[in-house]
Amino acid sequence: MMIPLGIMLAGCEDVGMAHRPLEAEMPDRYSVLAPIEAPSRDDIEWWRHFNDPVLDQLVARGLSGNLNAAEARARLREAEADARGANVPLSGNANLGVRAPSNASESGEASVNAQINLAGEAGFRARAARARLEAAEFGTIEAHRIVLSEVAQAYADLRFFQSSRAFRAQDLRSRQRTLRDIETQLGAGAATRLDLLRAQSLLAETRAEIPQLDARIVQTRNRLSTLLGVPVGSLGMDLGYHGQQPVPKGAIDAGVPADLLRARPDIRRAEQLYAAAVSDVGVADAARYPSLNLSGLISAPANGGRGTETLVAGLVVPVFNQPALLAEKDAAAARVEQTYLQWRIAVLQALEEVENAQILLRSARQSVSAAREAVSLNRQSLDLSRELLSSGGNITVLDVLDRERALSSSRTALAQNTRDVAAAFIQLYVGLGRGHPLTMDRMPIDPETTTVSSRDELSVDMLSFH
């Protein structure tokens, strides 16, 4: 047995698999080259750019009360417990691992049963548990990132629906006035029955829109309650509309795409899951090698006499189940490939999110300027049309009604574009991975293993987690 055993032990040096460097092709800059410049990179609390105390309060309550974030923290505690319970390498020999449960009796006797995998299975298990613990930590940060996005977006939606409701109320008053003017003109023979019906129809359309907006306002309030982890109707905050939608102030420094690899917690989590999967291959591979079993009895008499120790060592060689163990190793290797691809997907999605948000933010800001101008022009046009109609000018009732519709449409567009600016601003900051506890110096990637080639190809070696 000595020759086969020696051969098997010599093979322990090649247990497991090497870490594949995580590589992703990253552009050296975003396609939106220089639309936004910022005086500072201190964008941790980016929602304060809206200068809205209500939003500040909602974010604070959301980060502390959101149930999804609480669930992520519970998963972190589970990972911490798993890490504590994971096998650790024997002192002085990183290739050996021990599992040694023991039982002690009242008579001073203790039974010992220890298993030492000669290929270092316990060490691989410890590294996998440590990587999953770090993945869980990044998971809690990712949950905070999502909470920030959802709370801020829901607040922007609420103000949009409230603004639209206020515009419909203005439209209602304006169209009631137009209807009264047409009724007066009809009595004087200057308008027709058809003009009256058209004005009544437009007024009815406006009244029909208001209940729908009221419902959307209530639904969005309810959504905020759920995000903050409180029952519907018990939010306890004044969310009344005060005539203004949230508009972000200041500029954004988007940095460079490579920054996402450190700033995005979902990418960092995917890195650690990849590292854990690689260690799992080591666990599965080590199970194919011999283990040394130690069992025995240790006795310590209560009268202080000499104790006795009886230990028996046995070698367990997995021979007949090798095909099943090899299949498990192959399955673990396939899971490594899956986590590697999941990391690449996370990187590509992050790039897409940031690019899309920058483009949307630029276009939405341009649209807001045009919509404001359209509202002003349509308001002036409506006022002039009413003056001409009342003075007997060359204008019809239909022209006035058309101006009514045009003004309403431009107001709706302004509210929508303002919401788009807020949404794009939120998406951009969240996409850049800002606004959560993760900082550049928290569990950083080793800069010596991070390089950007002349082809803008970024390579991250995940060996740094050892």
CA nearest 275: which of 116, 133, 390? 133
pLDDT band at 441 (very low <50, low <70, confident <90, very high): very low
Mean pLDDT of 112-122: 70
CA dihedral 196, 199, 200, 204 (to 10 degrees): 170
Amino acid at 142: E
d(CA 97, CA 116) in angstroms, rounded, equals 5
| In-domain check, residue 186 | yes
Mean pLDDT of 331-352: 93
* Bridge partners for 452 per DSSP: 458
d(CA 278, CA 284) in angstroms, rounded, equals 10
CATH classification of the domain holding 355: 1.20.1600.10
Does residue 223 carry a pLDDT above 90? yes
Mean pLDDT of 34-62: 76
pLDDT band at 253 (very low <50, low <70, confident <90, very high): confident
Amino acid at 44: I
Contact 329, 285 (CB under 8 A): yes
Three-state secondary structure call for residue 307: coil
Range of the domain at 172: 12-90+124-287+323-465
Contact 279, 258 (CB under 8 A): no
pLDDT band at 463 (very low <50, low <70, confident <90, very high): very low
Got the DSSP string for 376-439?
Answer: HHHHHHHHHHHHHHHTT-S--HHHHHHHHHHHHHHHHHHHHHHHHHHHHHHHHHHHTT-SSS--
- Torsion region of 204: left, alpha or beta (phi above 0 gives left; psi -120 to 50 gives alpha): alpha
The residue among 188 and 401 whose pLDDT is bigger is 401
Q: What angle do CA 108, 110, 112 make, to 5 degrees?
A: 165
d(CA 284, CA 402) in angstroms, rounded, equals 74
Model pTM?
Answer: 0.79
- What number of CA atoms fall less than 13 Å from residue 28's CA on the CB side? 6
| In-domain check, residue 316 | no
Q: What is the pLDDT of residue 464?
A: 31
Name residues whose C-beta falls within 8 Å of residue 23's C-beta, 6 or more positions apart in sequence.
Answer: 457, 458, 459, 460
| In-domain check, residue 317 | no
The residue among 165 and 31 whose pLDDT is bigger is 165
| In-domain check, residue 3 | no
* Helix, strand, coil content of the chain in percent (nearest 5): 65, 10, 25
- Please state the domain count of the chain: 1
Question: Tokens 């090798």 — which residue?
Answer: 322
Q: What is the pLDDT of residue 89?
A: 36
| In-domain check, residue 200 | yes
| In-domain check, residue 106 | no
Amino acid at 212: Q
Q: What is the pLDDT of residue 420?
A: 96
In the structure encoding, which two tokens stand for residue 89, read together?
A: 């390498």
| In-domain check, residue 56 | yes
| In-domain check, residue 167 | yes
